[in-house]
Homo-oligomer: A and B are copies of this chain.
Amino acid sequence: MEDAGGFSLYDIQWREEILPSDIKEIREIILSSGFFTKDETEIAAELVDERLLKGPASGYFFIFMEAAENLSAYTCFGPIPGTKSSFDLYWIAVRDDFRGQGLGRILLEKTEKKIESMGGSRIYIETSSRDQYIPTRNFYEAQGYRAEAVLKDFYSPSDDKIIYVKTLSIT
């Protein structure tokens, strides 16, 4: 029985269905990270809203991770329109008081398996070059993502967009 900090991994519940209450929970998770602006938080919430309205046709898919009966982390991802098998990972966020316990890694691996099962072969993640994101970038690199492209000054002067990619080994 593997242990992830204060609770057993056997207590983790996975959910892919979206509930209207997720919008509020996701806002909380994203705000708790202290990383994102109010605008960015609204963008994350809009993706849930879009999914609730349009279902799978929205192109947005979610994996929710519940630990100790709390929504503790989630990913939002989907196939990139116009591509054969490329997926975007739009969001991965872990609630602040659940961080540092390896949940992000478990969640990302679960998400990669799901993407593979949906026919995906490449996963793209976009992030910022700001120092604030060094731990985030280290995390992606440790999980096998490599920085394939840099768009200089994309977000604002001296704030580049870095595009990471991971090729899934179809077995």
A residues adjacent to B (C-beta < 8 A):
39-40, 43, 80-86, 122, 124, 148-157, 163, 165
Q: Which residue of B43, B148, B151 is within 8 Å of A152 (Cβ)?
A: B148
Whether the pair A165, B148 counts as a contact (CB closer than 8 A) is: no
- Residues from chain B with Cβ under 8 Å of A157 in the complex: 84
Can you tell how many copies of this chain the complex includes?
2
Chain B CB within 10 A, most for which of A153, A157, A163: A153
State the Cβ distance, A133 to closest chain B Cβ, in Å: 13
- Residues from chain B with Cβ under 8 Å of A149 in the complex: 148-151, 163
A157 to B83, CA, bound (A): 10
State the Cβ distance, A7 to closest chain B Cβ, in Å: 34
24 A-B pairs with C-beta separation under 8 A:
A39-B81, A39-B82, A40-B82, A43-B82, A80-B154, A82-B155, A83-B154, A83-B155, A84-B155, A84-B156, A85-B156, A86-B154, A86-B155, A122-B153, A122-B154, A124-B154, A148-B149, A148-B151, A148-B152, A149-B149, A149-B150, A149-B151, A149-B163, A151-B163
